[in-house]
Structure 1
Amino acid sequence: MTITVVDANQISLARPRLLPLAIGLGVYVLLLISGDRLLNDPDTLWQVTIGQWIIDHRAVPWTDSYSFTMAGQPWISTQWLAQVAFAASYQFVGWAGPVVMTAAALGGTFYLLARLLGARLNDTATVIFAAAALALAAPHMLARPHVMAMPVMLAWVGALVGAADRRGVPPLWTLPLITLWANLHGGFVFGIALVAPFALDAVLSAERPRRVALLLRWALFGVLALAAGCITPYGWDSILASRKILSLGEALSRIGEWAPEDFSQIGVLEITLLGGLGLALLRGVTLPPVRILILLGLIHMALSHSRNLELLALLAPLVLAAPLAAQCGVAAPAGAPPSSRGLTAALLALAIGGTLAFATWHSFAPRSLFAPQAAVAELKRLGAKRVFNDYSFGGYLIANGVPTFIDGRTELFGETLVVDHDDAVRLRAPDKLFRLLDAYAVDATLLIPSSPAAKLLDRTEGWQKVYADDLAVIHQRKPGAPRTTPTINPPR
């Protein structure tokens, strides 16, 4: 069984409906009510701090000034615009600002998803895809720049898919989307890379006489997209920065969001993949060759790094929508009645009023697990300058003006230091802990109480525990202690 994508005349992207708004507002309200969960990430703290620095200095950073291990080394923030937005909203209304912005960005993302799908699929199929996307993307719904870029990503990919469906080229007005995306998050490089497969999909689906001309038009669009991605304070460096992430190697597997998916227990991804496979077998669904490659690529990315789940969740439905509409009897009905503008305005007004009321009543705050307030106050009292910190404390240290050993800016520290730090904290190589403490002249450590490194320091000559609570423990180097690696006797 062969298939081509749905003809453009069968697609009405302008068909107004209430369902997309209902889905978008539903996601927004759900996330606002559980707003503290959006702050459940230590990186949010340093994102706001850097955004405030940019506002104060009216410039973007080019070198590191937040760690003592990489101080002065080249470092750029490709997420600068999202960081500024977070910082400005935090200045205005405290943590309610980043929470509302994040919930609004995600609500807008699911509104766009439902609108794009609803132009091709019926309401039932649209709701199923939106629900699956919500479940898959939920773990990474956090107040971080990648969320601010999600609506832009969806609008951009929607334009690419729409152009491929009608065997045309995306309109030039979509190019500013890449520019906006490039200033919000470094993932825009993936958006530019998607131009090639969708161009090939459009060209192969077109009539033979049109293919060469269409290919040239897509090539021009791709060049313009590449140029649009360079319209940032960093220019071409914004694109080159992605190489540092890709070169982190083993370090990526040591960070939860970059780790591969674990199928030791059944989860949402496994259920989704098995359900999709079952549907394809039951209904005999086929896809054009290029769309098969795109879908397999998205699945591979999600399996390789859990942070790519949202890409599969949000983009795979757009890739599948037109073929499914043609084969499975789930196409959107023609001539659907328009939604009421009055009702739309009333729902938006209710959402704004409810937001103001809830934000006034509820006090948002980051998770205390990543904010060892008392321990950091003690570090400052002790005058510690070179602190070997747990990875999860990096954001709080940056926010409080304490130079870090390591933090969430993994691309700055590189594969070797990230892996060595992880090995040291977990005591995969006990001598590595003391080599790092000596090589970087560390005078104090800030670790979680249950970490193997903290327990070893309890019993190490030359170090003394000076503070401990439920969140963190501080060990300080004893005055005059030699900077040598102590002998570690294995247990008998």
Structure 2
Amino acid sequence: MTMSTTHVTEAANPMRGLLPLWVGVGVYAVFVLAGNHLLIDPDTMWQITVGQWIIDHGMVPQTDVYSFTMRGQPWISTQWLAQVAYAAVYSTAGWTGPVVLASACIAATFALFTRFLARHLSESSTLVFVAAALALTVPHLLARPHVLALPVMMAWVGGLVAAADRRDAPSFRLLPLMTLWANLHGGFVLGLALMAPIAVDAVWGADARTRRSLALRWAAFAVASLAASCVTPYGWNSLLASRKILALGEALPLIMEWRPADFSSLGPLEVCLLLGLGLALYRGITLPPLRIVLLLGMLHMALSQMRSLETLALLVPLFLAAPLAKQIGAADDHAKPAGAPRRLLFAGLAVVLLAGTVAYASVVRFEPHTRGSPVTAVAELKKLNLSRVFNDYDFGGYLIANGVAPFIDGRTELYGEKFFVDHNAASGLMKPENLFRLLEEYNIEATLMRTQSAATTLLDHIDGWQKVYADDIATIHVRKPGAVHTLGPAVR
């Protein structure tokens, strides 16, 4: 009798089963404390500017209204809702707004991640996956639209995998998630693509008598999901927009996040792969065929493009959790904790986090990294009243945010492969003739380039271009026919 009573008391303890909550709270605190890390990408600035434009005009963009090189060309923003959200919180709380919003979405992502894994795995195993996922995703966790879509991605894929684990079809209640994802970020295409292998896995493992009906239910869900993804201001064009990214060809490897994995030095990806391989060999772990296909597909994506590390880190454990639970230990089966104490705990933690956020934001200044913010240089540039400025790629977001039409910015799909590659070859002097051609072809009046760039050094030595401003971040050269360089002998 005593042992039975003790067991019931432990199972009813409201503090049990709260690992997702503690993970979410911890992740939120870490990212708020390191808030400026979230603002190191200059693209955040033009994302907010576009969001404010949408709010002011009550419509989404259909053409480019920012650059002078592509003005009027067709351009849609498949991440318009995330841009509006960032613009709204920025107008309310300055840079604290995007930091808090991004941190909250990252925390929600990891809380959901922990919840899905803890259904199958022990808490210790779950925490190992959480630590690995954090290590792999931190470099790409920035205040950009994809971060706001991460909890939606987690809920969507988690729902699909849970259905496959039950040998069942997903609930149609998941469909609003696809519509939300399609309005937050173009990555929703991955959510659609994953339905096929997950559905095959579910049908493959089902009883032979139910396979036909189960396949039909998955097919109906897939059709409904495709329709739900088109419920955007752009309709089915949001679905087709991903083609422009994939068509960038040679431009993709030139963008940091699209580069393949680099194993020249030991990093988180290599450590995780080696540990995972070692565990599989030591424990003799086996996986169902379709789960192996999903694992290898995600691994290929991560090795091909560093930006896919987040999908490898956050989605692959969902595919592996149920099979691994049978081989490395399943989660403890506890009774559901009492609701009232949990609600009090949630309310208390919410108050503490809110108070802590306000207090920390009152003493710490959040602001974008100076690497992509040529503040003083742009202030000097605006005094010159010039309209055709050849700029460094990373400065484009800051120029848009400050009302200066850029030559190029982070909307690479707008500019296309050739334009981007030509600009990169010109600014880096891989092809010096590209620099002179672009300066003449677009009637460039001034250049705003990184002070350390090869193009800046070359313009210091070219007649007809006068340096009018320079600091540690950016240098301005103005076209001036009578200007003669003074840093070396005349170039004949």
**TM-score per shorter chain, which class?**
over 0.9
Aligned equivalent of 1:396, options 395, 398, 405: 398
TM-score, normalization by structure 1: 0.93
* Structure 2 counterpart of 1:116: 116
CA distance in 1, matches of 2:309, 2:401: 29
Runs (4+) of structure 1 exceeding 6 A deviation are: none
1:371-390 equivalences under 5 Å are 371-390=373-392
1:27-426 equivalences under 5 Å are 27-329=27-329, 331-335=330-334, 338=337, 340-341=341-342, 342-426=344-428
* Structure 2 counterpart of 1:10: none
CA distance in 2, matches of 1:206, 1:85: 42
* Structure 2 counterpart of 1:17: 17
Shift of 1:328: 1.5
- Does the aligned pair in 1 maintain the 2:465–2:481 contact within 8 Å? no
Shift of 1:489: 7.6
Shift of 1:352: 1.5
- Does the aligned pair in 1 maintain the 2:79–2:145 contact within 8 Å? yes
Shift of 1:337: 5.9
Counterpart amino acid of residue 360 in structure 2: F
CA distance in 2, matches of 1:305, 1:419: 18
SS at match of 2:466: strand
CA distance in 2, matches of 1:198, 1:443: 55
Shift of 1:338: 2.3
CA distance in 1, matches of 2:139, 2:358: 26
Query: For this pair of structures, how many residues does the alignment match?
Result: 469
Shift of 1:463: 1.1
- Does the aligned pair in 2 maintain the 1:161–1:319 contact within 8 Å? yes
CA deviation digits over 1:421-443, x for unaligned, max 9?
A: 11111110111110111111111
- Does the aligned pair in 2 maintain the 1:175–1:225 contact within 8 Å? yes
CA deviation digits over 1:391-417, x for unaligned, max 9?
A: 110100000111111110010000101
CA distance in 2, matches of 1:321, 1:53: 43
* Structure 1 counterpart of 2:8: none
Counterpart amino acid of residue 172 in structure 1: F
* Structure 2 counterpart of 1:3: none
CA distance in 1, matches of 2:349, 2:96: 21
Shift of 1:361: 2.2
CA deviation digits over 1:205-264, x for unaligned, max 9?
A: 011111111111111111110000000000000000000001001101001111111100
In the alignment, structure 1 segments of 5+ residues that lack a partner are 1-14, 482-487
CA deviation digits over 1:61-110, x for unaligned, max 9?
A: 00001111111000000100000000000110100000000000000000
Task: Choose 130-139 or 338-347, whichever is displaced more.
Answer: 338-347
CA deviation digits over 1:22-46, x for unaligned, max 9?
A: 0011000000001011111100000
Task: Choose 426-435 or 357-366, whichever is displaced more.
Answer: 357-366
CA distance in 2, matches of 1:237, 1:438: 35
CA distance in 1, matches of 2:66, 2:193: 32
Shift of 1:155: 0.1
* Structure 2 counterpart of 1:452: 454
Q: Find out whether 1:437 has 2:443 as its counterpart.
A: no
TM-score, normalization by structure 2: 0.93
In the alignment, structure 2 segments of 5+ residues that lack a partner are 1-14, 484-489
CA distance in 1, matches of 2:380, 2:368: 20
Cα RMSD of the aligned pairs, angstroms, is 1.5
- Does the aligned pair in 2 maintain the 1:17–1:336 contact within 8 Å? no
CA distance in 2, matches of 1:33, 1:469: 30
* Structure 2 counterpart of 1:8: none
SS at match of 1:285: coil
SS at match of 2:478: strand
CA distance in 1, matches of 2:291, 2:16: 27
CA deviation digits over 1:131-156, x for unaligned, max 9?
A: 10011000011000000000000000
* Structure 2 counterpart of 1:5: none
SS at match of 1:470: coil
CA distance in 2, matches of 1:403, 1:462: 23
- Does the aligned pair in 1 maintain the 2:462–2:491 contact within 8 Å? no
- Does the aligned pair in 1 maintain the 2:24–2:111 contact within 8 Å? yes
Counterpart amino acid of residue 334 in structure 2: G
Counterpart amino acid of residue 459 in structure 2: L
CA distance in 2, matches of 1:436, 1:109: 44
Shift of 1:344: 2.9
SS at match of 1:208: coil
* Structure 2 counterpart of 1:463: 465
- Does the aligned pair in 1 maintain the 2:23–2:114 contact within 8 Å? yes
CA distance in 2, matches of 1:41, 1:54: 21
Counterpart amino acid of residue 295 in structure 2: L
CA distance in 2, matches of 1:160, 1:471: 47
- Does the aligned pair in 1 maintain the 2:46–2:401 contact within 8 Å? yes
Counterpart amino acid of residue 194 in structure 2: L
Shift of 1:464: 1.2
Shift of 1:372: 0.8
